[in-house]
Amino acid sequence: MKLEVKNLRKRYGQNLVLDSISLTFESGNIYGLFGRNGAGKSTLFRCINDLLPYDDGSILLDGAEYRDLAKEKRKLLAIANEDNLFPADANIKAMACAYAYVRNIDEEKLLSDIDRFSIPARKKWEKLSTGERTMLKNVFAINSGASFIFLDEPVLGLDAINRDELYRRLLEDFSEEKTYIISSHIIDEVASFASYIYFLYSKRIVLEGESELIQQQGFILSGSSVDLAGVKGNFSIISRGNRLGSEYMCILGKIEEIPASVKAEKTDLQQLFIEMTKGGNGK
């Protein structure tokens, strides 16, 4: 199964938020979507899930316009984000019962997951902590029966132990029929299991590719400007700067020849993202 976003554009009034965004999500993969605050990640997720209208472009599920599909087909997508659609005075067990009915899923399995993450089933939504609300939305999405599951900042308010347990649960659920698309500020955690990543910056996708390959090709090179000019290979210069009295450049690609006086360090996705986007806020 394939979900395609083609040349999507979204405006809020005169403010262009997403400019000709194109992405492809295929079954059996985990994707990471990374961008700075205000870059449009949440807006993109809402547009894909038909929670927000967009101005141009198309969203196709196996070649058919997603927003034109019948109700049952539309259940193939699910999202957990900051939107609060739950009544403040509803208790968690009642919410789980209603969700299981609407999605036609196993209520007992859903309640078991709620218990796994120590969310009090008889507690009201308004009484939950930020972390409990985040985890409950994640649990609903994971158990939704959807083929494409979007998790927008799924670790908000979660400590390291709960984050690790969430990732374990996600990987338990993952299969060749499932696709996860995860947006998170903790890039390296998601990059550790995501197979493909997208960087969203300045209203566009500025980098995409297999996570492992990108991490193999990212380097920070330090030395004098003359020595850095002597580095040869097939690479793109992401940024230049100065640190600890030495010039450096961040590159992405293959190095074929490097002067002995140049120090080369591998860079992870988090550092690569910082170097690629530090010139502005991505709006």
- Structural domains present in the chain: 2-201 (3.40.50.300), 214-277 (no CATH)
41 within 8 A of 62, measured Cβ to Cβ: no
Residue 118 CB burial class (10 angstroms; 0-12, 13-18, ≥19): exposed
Q: What tens digit of pLDDT does each residue of 239-282 get?
A: 998 887 789 999 999 999 999 999 999 998 999 999 988 865 44
> How many whole angstroms separate alpha carbon 149 and alpha carbon 181?
6
Nearest to 250 by CA among 207, 188, 204, 190: 207
* Host H or E run for residue 151: strand 148-152
Q: What mean pLDDT, rounded, does the chain reach? A: 92
Q: Is 190 helix (H, G, I), strand (E, B) or coil?
A: helix
pLDDT the model gives residue 252: 94
Confidence at residue 279, expressed as pLDDT on a 0 to 100 scale: 63
The pTM assigned to this predicted structure is 0.91
- pLDDT value of position 277: 86
Contact 118, 150 (CB under 8 A): no
Ordered mean pLDDT values, 10 residues apiece, the chain (283 residues): 96 93 96 91 95 95 90 89 86 93 93 94 92 95 96 93 94 93 91 93 92 91 92 93 87 93 91 82 45
**Is the alpha carbon torsion for 86, 90, 93, 99 positive or negative?**
negative
